Structure 1
Amino acid sequence: MGKYNVSNRDLILFLGITFGLTVIMGIAMRLAYPTYSVDSFPLVQMNYPAIGVMAALLLNKKWRNELPKNFFKTYLFITITLIIYLLVEVFVFHQNPDIHLEIWIMLGSFSLIIAYNSDSKEKIEKFGLKFKKNVKSSIIYILLFVALYLTAIFISSILAGEVHSFIEPFKSLKKWSVLLLMPLLFAFSFISFLGEEYGWRYFLQPALQERIGKRKGVIVLGLIWGIWHLPVNMFYYSPETPLHSVINQLIICIGYSVFLGYVYMKTENIWTISMIHFINNGLGGILYGGTGTNLVFTWKSVFINLLFFSILYMPFLLAKEYRKSDIDMVEAVEYTGEEIEVTEKDIER
């Protein structure tokens, strides 16, 4: 991850802050539900992993002077004000904060662009935020994700005997216009998607892979990522079938963790992963009008998702990027200056 190794202290701080915020705001979400709208809680929750990373690094004296502080502090300010605004609107003024909150997210994204350009290029790159990195391969993997995403929907429509429902949206000029504008729309809301991916892919993935191996690392990451969604599963995605929703979330997060982990190791570009996350969250809604809220799952639908994600994403575990533990260990020696004995078990892991 970038140019430094994650210490145990940084890892504990990251997990404590990320899950601490999630638990606190999850309790607030439960108190608000169903009396008030909880639509804004999942949107703000997306920022917590990045907050965990940035806070942990800012508290680390070793790295404090080398950080892109303008970017980090701007992100922290935007997120803290989002949390305060959300809680005040819901519990003090008893109002739905959705519209104003989305405007603040848009303004926050623009503020981050300014902060990004005010920090030195060296600091931006060192801490994994360089935008123009492996651009060509990034575009290829974004298109690959879109192809896999649409393949799953197409197969589902065949099994349901409703192929026309898959094809119909592509006949709409309006939908094509929105699809082509997605890169621009990303610029208005990237703060949220970067929020998750900077925590999970940039920070936690390498930290876990260095400790337990590349394959096990992304699997454990998928489990952690899935469990982190618990409040959203219970009070937003599927309040009527929360157990089904949680299991379905674990399936999705493990599958995506494998694929996104692979893409991140190939591109080393966190913006690419954030864009894929953005497309995943928005493509279905643009094409088919789904909101992803108040869903009712059955064990059959959960099993179908397990089947699709196993077929489409789990095979990426066989990619050579997941077999480079020996090279990574050598790089770790170069970064830390420590002598590390590489065993046969480490290479095979």
Structure 2
Amino acid sequence: MERIEAVSGDSLPPPPQRTGLLHALRTGSERMARCVGLDELLACTLSTLQEQLDIGHAMVLMLDATAEQLYTVASHGYATSGVGSEIRLGQGVIGVAAQERTPVRISHVTNAARYSHAIRDSLDAHADAGAQLQRGMDIPYPGLAEPHSQIAVPLVSAGRLLGVLFAESPEDMRFGFEDEDLLVAIAGQLAAAIDLLQAAPEVTAEPQPATAHPPALSGAALRVRHFAANDSVFINDDYLIKGVAGAIFCKLLRDHLASGRVDFTNRELRLDPALRLPDVADNLEARLLLLQRRLQENSPHIHIEKTGRGRFRLCVLRPLVLEDA
């Protein structure tokens, strides 16, 4: 290029001036600082994005360091929550942000998304039976079918990667430099808060027995199948969960079937060698939240409810048959 010549024509209108962004950040920060549990913290973070920053589609993913992938624990703005859906490190905008530990912002995504979908369809068509079975256990990713803007910000605390905060939009150029700065600030507080909740003292005493009698069981028995190879769990042939959350679920069911027990603590799960849990940095609270939400969405006859800090209750409304495959 030797020179640039200006020509007459219409110019683009200046972008609308945005005001009150610092106040929005302050309001969201104050709300997040009052949260006392992971479930509340994630809900508060996503509602802050929606109400204060007008971000209608977002999700939080946590890191599974052992499997080198991320799993969705919370989302808003989508037809389905996608809780439990997984993304490998280095895969797409989210995976790259996690792998490189740096924000990734893209303003025109549609063509890349279509290419990615085409590649996935081609792999599915030529996959062997084992690979197709594994994909049958994949929980659908909740993202927009045709996003035009995306931004992914890593959650890092004390130098450790905890997960990713992700947002997207059907509009081109939705996220600018100021949006990135805001989301980096929010992600930093979210990561620090997760770390603090994770480090909080856990219950050391045995859980107290339930004060109320458990509800009478009725209806046909639920068939729960557990596959030890990857701790995947199916309820009446429908996939529920796998990995650490699947191992935890089966431990709860075994104890319940053996003694009728319903009350448990986070601490005893950490100390149970049979579960082969990763170290504390892998966030047991996130695994329990994932299991709780998958049960809410897929098995109305079994659910988990919190009964206090580090305590929870297993509620079973139908007879169970647990099979180890």
Structure ID, larger Rg: 2
Q: TM-score, normalised by structure 2?
A: 0.27
Considering fraction of residues, name the structure with more helix: 1
Q: TM-score, normalised by structure 1?
A: 0.26
Considering fraction of residues, name the structure with more strand: 2
Q: Which has the higher contact order (CA 8 A, sep 6+)?
A: 1
